[in-house]
Chain A
Amino acid sequence: MLITNPLNSSELVFPTLECFHIVGFALSIGTIAIVDFALLGVGMRRQTPAQLAKDTWLWTLGGLVLMFFSGLLLFSSDPDMYYLNWAFLIKMIFFVAAVLFHYTIHRKAVVSDTPPANGKAIACVSLLLWCGVVFGGIFIGFIYPGLSLGKG
C-alpha cells in the first residue's frame, strides 16, 4: 500500500511551513549577525561579543531548531525534487559548514575574554556562510530538475 505524505494533502501546509521557516532563520541569523557585528566593531559597542553571545545563544538555537525542523518537513514534501536540485545541495553544504563553524571556531572566538586578532575575519566568514544558506534557499525555487516543478 502506498502511503502518501499527509503534508501533501493540503495546499496550505507548505506555505505555512515556509512562514515558520522564515521566522526561524530571521531569529537565528539575526542573532548571529548581532554577535558578528560586535566582533567586527560595527555598533553594539556597549557590550562585548561574549556578553551578546550569552544573551542570544538560546534564541539562536531556538531559531535554528525551528528553521531545521520546518525545513525537514518542507523537504519531505518532494524529496526527489530537492535531491536533484543543485541549489538545494549547495544550500545544504553552506548550512552544514555554517553550523559547524558557528559552534566551533566562531564560538571559541566569541567566548574568549580578549577578542582574538582574527575576530573580524571570523565574523565575515560567519556572515558569508549564512548568506550562502539564504541564497541557496532562494535559488531552489528557480531551478527545475525535470522530475517535478519546484514550488514558490
Chain B
Amino acid sequence: MLLSFAQWIQATALFTALRGSADVYPVVMALHMVGISLFGGMILMTDMRLLGWAMRKRSISDVVDQFRVPKRWGLLLTVTCGVLMAGSKAEEYYYNSFFRTKLILLAAVIVFELVFYRSVYAHPAALDRTPGIPGTAKTAAVLSLLLWIAIACCGRGIGYIEPPLDKIHAEIHAAKAAALAALHTPSTPEGRVR
C-alpha cells in the first residue's frame, strides 16, 4: 500500500515536473540546506542553553522564546523542500533504508514533542525560576540533539544508496535501467523495464 502510494504521488504532475527539471531540483535541495542552517543552528543553540553550555548570560526564556520564530521558519523551509524532494523520488525512496530510518526518527520527534513540549519548551520562564536547570530540560536537550543530528546524518545517507533500478518506474531511471539491462542480458534488452 505504501509502495503504491509512493508510485502514485511521484506520478503527479508537480513531482513529475520537478524530477525532470535539472535546474529546479538542486535549488530545492540548496534551500533545504539553507533551512537546515537556520533550523539546525536554532536547535543546537537552544538545546545547548538548556544544558548550560551556551549563552549562560541570558535567561533560558530569552533564548528559547526568541529563537522559536526563526526555528519554526527554518523548519518550514526544510520540511517544504524535503517533501518536494521526497515526493519527486517517492518510489525510489520507498526502498531507501536511510530514508526509512529518517522517517522513523521524524516520527520519534513527534513523540518527543508530545512528551517534552509542555514541560520544557512551551514554558521556559518556569525553568528560570528553579535554582538549577531541571533534569527534565537537560534530558530533553540531549534527546533533541541526538535525534536531529541523527536525522541530518540519515538525510545525507539517502544519497549514497543506489535505487533498485529493476523495480523503479520513474522515467528518469528508465534509460539507466534499460542500459543496465542491455549490458547484463543482451538477449532481452527490454526485459527488465516495465
Report the Cα distance A18→B48, complex, angstroms. Answer: 22
State whether A25 touches B37 (Cβ < 8 A).
yes
State whether B156 touches A55 (Cβ < 8 A).
no
State whether A34 touches B30 (Cβ < 8 A).
no
9-residue interface stretch from B61-69, B132-140, B186-194: B61-69
Tell whether A97 is near chain B: CB-to-CB under 8 Å.
no
Closest residue of A by beta carbon distance from B145: A23
Report the Cα distance A134→B57, complex, angstroms. Answer: 31
Secondary structure at chain B's binding surface: helix, strand, loop or mixed? helix
State whether A30 touches B38 (Cβ < 8 A).
yes
Report the Cα distance A71→B62, complex, angstroms. Answer: 33
Tell whether A139 is near chain B: CB-to-CB under 8 Å.
yes
Report A-chain residues with C-beta under 8 Å of the C-beta of B43.
Answer: 26
State whether B153 touches A30 (Cβ < 8 A).
no
Q: Which chain B residues (146-163) contact chain A, with CB distance < 8 Å?
A: 149, 152-153, 156-157, 159-160
Q: Which chain A residues (27-73) contact chain B, with CB distance < 8 Å?
A: 27-31, 33-34, 37, 43-47, 54-56, 59
Known A29-B37, A139-B26; judge A19-B66 contact (CB<8 A).
no
State whether A23 touches B40 (Cβ < 8 A).
yes
State whether A19 touches B54 (Cβ < 8 A).
no
State whether B55 touches A55 (Cβ < 8 A).
yes
State whether A135 touches B54 (Cβ < 8 A).
no
Report A-chain residues with C-beta under 8 Å of the C-beta of B26.
Answer: 138-139, 141-142
Tell whether A22 is near chain B: CB-to-CB under 8 Å.
yes
State whether B152 touches A23 (Cβ < 8 A).
yes
Tally of B interface residues using CB under 8 Å = 34
Tell whether B6 is near chain A: CB-to-CB under 8 Å.
no
Contact of B44 among A26, A43, A131 (CB under 8 A): A26
Interface centre among A55, A131, A142, A152 (most CB of B within 10 A): A55
Report the Cα distance A123→B168, complex, angstroms. Answer: 46
Known A23-B149, A25-B37, A46-B62; judge A37-B156 contact (CB<8 A).
no
Tally of A interface residues using CB under 8 Å = 34
Closest residue of B by beta carbon distance from A143: B26
Report B-chain residues with C-beta under 8 Å of the C-beta of A26.
Answer: 36-37, 39-41, 43-44, 152
Secondary structure at chain A's binding surface: helix, strand, loop or mixed? helix
State whether B30 touches A29 (Cβ < 8 A).
no
State whether B40 touches A43 (Cβ < 8 A).
no
Chain B interface residues toward A at CB < 8 A? 22, 26-27, 29-30, 33-34, 36-45, 48, 54-55, 57-58, 62, 66-67, 69-70, 149, 152-153, 156-157, 159-160
Q: A15-B156, A27-B44, A56-B55 are in contact. List 7 more A-B contacts (CB 8 A).
A: A19-B152, A26-B43, A29-B37, A33-B70, A47-B58, A54-B57, A59-B45
25 A-B residue pairs with Cβ-Cβ distance under 8 Å, sorted by A, are A15-B156, A15-B160, A19-B156, A22-B33, A22-B36, A22-B152, A22-B156, A26-B40, A27-B40, A27-B44, A30-B38, A30-B42, A30-B45, A31-B41, A33-B41, A43-B66, A43-B69, A46-B66, A47-B62, A47-B66, A59-B48, A137-B33, A142-B22, A152-B159, A152-B160
Q: Give the 7 A-B residue pairs with the shortest CB-CB distance, closest first.
A: A30-B41, A26-B40, A29-B37, A138-B30, A135-B30, A19-B153, A55-B55
